[in-house]
Amino acid sequence: MLNMRENTGKSCRAVATSDDGGQTWSEPSWDRALNECPCQASFIRYSDARTHGRSRLLFANPDVSGERYGVVDRTRMAVKVSYDEGKTWPVERLIHPGPSSYSSLVRLPDGDVGLVYEGGQQHRREWIRFARLSLAWLTDGQDRP
């Protein structure tokens, strides 16, 4: 799955999928569950159903929507979880309500999630923070690795 920022006025992320390891790709579709302002986002596979018993995709970005870059302020850094290969995103956890911007997710060796993101109180680039998040915390105790 390829998850793309856009600046075409859709206010959501574009998604394309491949069934052959990236040799060919589907036409992009618009995922209305993933708000876009537009901004760089982070997207990882946390686990695969075949090897970990459950599929989990994680997505992080400023969770606001605007038709074009600069239309709305980048705020509300959030992490979302999908259990059905990105068809739906039923879990969302707000990480920072204020100005925020680029992010990067990683699954840590102990199963926690690492999130590096830009943020601040007055501007989205005041600081760079690292947040360590457990899957249980992200899901209000409903999911554990």
Question: Using one digit for the tens of pLDDT, what is the confidence trace for 57-73?
Answer: 999 999 988 766 666 78
Question: Residue 144 falls within a domain, yes or no?
Answer: no
Residue entry with tokens 């600069």: 70
- Domain range for residue 95? 2-138
CATH number at residue 105: 2.120.10.10
DSSP, res 36: -
Q: Quote the number of domains for the chain.
A: 1
143 part of a folded domain: no
111 CB neighbour count, 10 Å cutoff: 14
| Half-sphere exposure for 60 (CA within 13 Å, toward CB) | 27
Kindly state whether residue 107 falls inside one of the protein's structural domains: yes
In this prediction the pTM is 0.92
**Maximum separation of any 2 CA atoms in the chain, in Å:** 45
Task: Tell me whether residue 78 is in a domain.
Answer: yes
> For the segment 63-112, what is each residue's pLDDT rounded down to a tens digit?
988 766 666 789 999 999 999 999 999 999 999 999 999 999 999 999 99
16-25 contacts at long range (C-beta below 8 A, 24 or more positions apart): none
